[in-house]
Amino acid sequence: MATSPDVTSMALFCDFENVALGVRETHHEKFDIKLVLERLLLKGSIVVKKAYCDWERYKGFKAQMHEASFELIEIPHVRQSGKNSADIRLVVDALHLCYTKSHVNTFVIISGDSDFSPLVSKLRENNKQVIGEGVKESPSDLLIANCDEFIFYDDLVRESGRQSSRREARPPAPPSRRPSQPSANPEDDRRRDEADNRKNKAVELAPQTFEALYSERGDGGKIWASVLKEAIKRRKPDFSESYYGFRSFGGLLEEMQARGFLKMGRDEKSNAFVFRSAGSESGSGGNAATDAPAAPEVLPVVHRAGEPEAREPRGRGARSRGGRR
C-alpha cells in the first residue's frame, strides 16, 4: 500500500541486552515494551520491529516481545574481544532498510549505546528522522545529542503511574438506565450490563488516547476527531465504536463530553474536533484541583537535537553497553 509523504512509518530496532542492563541498574520492576509502543503509535504506524540479543540469556522476556510482534534476532553470546555481534547486525539491518524501503521515514533505536551514534548520523544524512529510547543514566550523551528526539523509559513509567492514579480518582460511571423494576428475563439484564460495561471501556480508552496525543503535541490546541480515532486504532487495531454501543465515533465523543472528559467543536466545514474542558484534566472528569498534577509534569521528557539536555550531570563520559566506554 502506498504511503503518503506526511504519514509517519516507523522501523524499530531494539538492542535488548543494553535495555535489560539499563532496567536492572535503575531498579525498575520490569521492562514493559507496551509503554514504548503506545508512545510511538501516537506518532504514526510501526511497520518493522526487530529485537537483537542472545535470547537464551533473556528467556523471561521472549514471550512479551513475541506478543508485541517483534522479530527476535538470535545473536549467540561469544566470549571474545571485538565488536558486539548484535550491534553489527542491528546496524546492517537498519542501513539495508534505509536504502531499500523509501516509505520508512522514521527509525527508532531502542538503546543507550554510544556505538550507534554513527548509524544515527548516517540515517539523518539520508533524510530519515531518528528517535532514540532508553533508560535514564544508561544512554550516552553522544547518542542523545545525535537523535532528533530521545524518549526516556523512566518518564513513560511515571506517566503511566499518573494515568492509573487519575483513573482511580475518577468518579464512578453513571448508573445504567435500567428500569426500576427487574426485567422478567434475567438474560436481558445481563446483556444490558454487558453493553454498559463496553460503553464505559470506550469512554475510558478514548480520553486516555486524547490525553496522550495532547501531551505528545504539546501545543495546547485542538485535536481533530479523525486524528484521535486513527490514534486509537493504531493502539487498538480491533477498535470499533459499534462494538462499544455507539452508532458513530461522534456518538462516543458526545458521551465523553456529557461526562465532562473533554469538549467538542466544529469548524466552518463541520469537521469535528475535541479539546480539554476548561480547568480540568481530560479523562479525569473530577475536580481539577484534585486531579491536576501539582506541576506541569504531564509530558514524558524528550530531548530534541540542538536543545540542551535537561538532566542532572552524571560525572561520566559517553557510555556503551556495560560501561565499555
DSSP assignment of 165-182 equals HHHHHSPPPPPP---SSP
CATH of domain 186-285: 3.30.420.610
Query: Confidence band (pLDDT; 50, 70, 90) for 296?
Result: very low
Query: Confidence band (pLDDT; 50, 70, 90) for 242?
Result: confident
According to the model, what pLDDT value does residue 218 have? 66
Query: Confidence band (pLDDT; 50, 70, 90) for 198?
Result: confident
| Chain Cα centroid distance, residue 136 | 17
Question: What stretch(es) of the chain map to CATH 3.40.50.1010?
Answer: 9-158+301-315
3-state secondary structure at position 106:
strand
User: Residue 10's beta-bridge partner residues?
Assistant: 46, 106
For the stretch 225-244, what's the b/e string if a residue is b when 16 or more beta carbons lie within 10 angstroms of its beta carbon?
bebbbbbbebbeeebebeeb
Residue 145, number of CB atoms within 10 A of its CB? 18
CATH of domain 9-158+301-315: 3.40.50.1010
21-67, pLDDT tens digit by residue? 888 887 777 889 999 999 999 999 999 999 999 999 999 899 999 99
For the chain, the first-to-last Cα distance in angstroms comes to 43
Question: What stretch(es) of the chain map to CATH 3.30.420.610?
Answer: 186-285
- When comparing pLDDT for 116 and 83, which is higher? 116
182-196, pLDDT tens digit by residue? 556 667 677 777 878
For 43, phi then psi, to 5°, come to -85, -30
